[in-house]
Amino acid sequence: MPGLTKGMIADVKKKPQISLPESFFSNPAVGDMKAAMVIYFERSGEIRLIPMVKESGARVRLEVEKVNPALMQTMTHLFKQHDLKVLFTTGFCYEQNRCVYEVYFAADAIREKEAQIRQTIEGIPGLYESEFEILEKGVEW
The pLDDT of residue 116 is 96
What would the pLDDT profile of 46-102 be if each residue is shown by its tens digit? 999 999 999 999 999 999 988 788 888 999 999 999 999 999 998 887 777 789 999
Mean pLDDT, rounded, for 11-37: 92
CA triple 19-21-25, angle to 5 deg: 105
Domains of the chain in sequence order: 56-136 (3.30.70.260)
Helices (H) and strands (E) in the chain, counts: 3, 6
> Residue 137, Cβ neighbours under 10 Å: how many?
12
Q: Which residues, 6+ apart, have CB-to-CB distance to 110 below 8 Å?
A: 56, 57, 58, 134, 136
Q: Is the pLDDT confidence value at 106 over 70?
A: yes
pLDDT at 5: 84
Please determine, for residue 2, whether its predicted confidence score (pLDDT) is greater than 80: no
pLDDT(1) > 60: no
Looking at residue 67, its pLDDT comes to 79
Residue 52 is predicted with a pLDDT of: 96
pLDDT recorded at residue 105: 96
pTM of the predicted model as reported, rounded to 2 decimal places: 0.87
Residue closest to 114 by CA, chosen among 56, 68, 70: 56
